[in-house]
Chain A
Amino acid sequence: MEITIIQAILVFVVAFIMGIDQFSFLESLYQPIVTCPIIGAILGNFELGVVVGGSYQLIQIGSMPIGGAQPPNAILGGIMATVFAASLGMEATPEGVGAALGLAIPFAVFGQYAVTLTFTIMSGMMAKADQCAENADVKGIRNINFMEMAILGTLFGLLAVAGLYGGSALGQTLQNFSFQFSWVMAGLDAAGGAMKFVGFAILMKVMMSNEMWGFLLAGFAMALLCSANATTSGATLILCAFVGAAIAIYDFSINTKIKANAGAGNMGGDSDGI
Chain B
Amino acid sequence: MAYNIPEKYQDLTPAPQVDKKTLNKMVWLSCFLQASFNYERMQACGWLWGMLPGLQKIHTNKEDLKASMAHNLDFLNTHPFLVTFVMGIVLSLEQNKADTQTIRSVRISAAGPLGGIGDALFWLTLVPITAGLTANIALQGNILGAFLFLIIFNAVQFAIRFGLMYWSYGLGTKAVTMLTSSAKEFTRAASILGVFVVGGLIANYGGTTVRMIVGDTQINIQSLLDGILPKLIPLLITLGLYVLIKKGWTPVKCILLILVCGIVGCAFGIWTGNSQAMDADGNTIPGGYNPLVEWYDYPEPAPAEKTGQQAWDALTAVVTELQNGGVVVTMPE
A interface residues, Cβ below 8 angstroms from B: 20, 23-29, 31, 33-34, 37, 46-47, 50-51, 53-55, 57-68, 71-72, 92-94, 98, 101-103, 105-106, 109, 112-113, 119-127, 129-130, 132-136, 138, 141-142, 144-149, 171, 175, 178-179, 182-209, 212, 215-224, 227-228, 234-238, 240-241, 243-245, 247-249, 251-252, 255-256, 259
Contact = CB atoms under 8 A, between A and B. Distances in A.
B224 interface: no
B198 A216 contact: yes
A197 B251 CA distance: 10
A126 B311 contact: no
Interface stretch (B9-17, B19-27, B105-113, B162-170): B105-113
B274 interface: yes
A26 B252 contact: no
Contacts of A47: 141
A191 B200 CA distance: 21
Contact of B278 (A20, A92, A109): A109
Contact of B266 (A66, A190, A256): A190
Given A134-B70, A199-B41, A186 B274 contact: yes
A152 B297 CA distance: 37
Given A33-B138, A198-B258, A234-B116, A182 B275 contact: yes
Nearest to B245: A201
A67 B205 CA distance: 8
Nearest to A137: B69
A169 B188 CA distance: 62
A114 B132 CA distance: 28
B195 A204 contact: yes
A181 B71 CA distance: 39
Given A58-B135, A134-B70, A237 B45 contact: no
B220 interface: no
A206 to B, nearest CB: 5
Contact of A202 (B75, B127, B273): B75
A175 B198 contact: no
B123 A66 contact: yes
B193 A244 contact: yes
Interface residues on B, range: 35 or more
A256 B141 contact: no
A52 to B, nearest CB: 9
Contact of A178 (B113, B115, B276): B276
Given A31-B127, A194-B208, A198-B258, 20 more contacts: A23-B34, A23-B37, A60-B131, A62-B311, A62-B314, A62-B318, A66-B123, A136-B65, A142-B49, A186-B271, A191-B39, A197-B234, A198-B241, A204-B195, A206-B5, A219-B200, A221-B199, A223-B202, A234-B116, A235-B116
B31 interface: yes
B154 interface: yes
Contacts of B42: 196, 199
A119 B332 CA distance: 40
Interface of B: 1-3, 5, 31-42, 44-46, 48-49, 52, 56, 62, 65-66, 69-75, 77, 80-81, 101, 104-105, 108-109, 112-113, 115-117, 119-120, 123-124, 127-128, 131-132, 134-143, 145-146, 149-150, 153-154, 157, 182, 185-186, 188-208, 230-231, 234-235, 237-238, 241-242, 244-246, 250-252, 254-255, 258-259, 261-267, 269, 271-282, 285, 288-292, 306, 308, 311-312, 314-315, 318-319, 331-333
A231 to B, nearest CB: 13
Given A148-B35, A178-B276, A247-B192, A199 B74 contact: yes
Given A92-B141, A194-B237, A227-B203, A188 B306 contact: no
A141 to B, nearest CB: 6
Given A58-B318, A98-B308, A182-B285, A144 B45 contact: yes
A217 B200 CA distance: 8
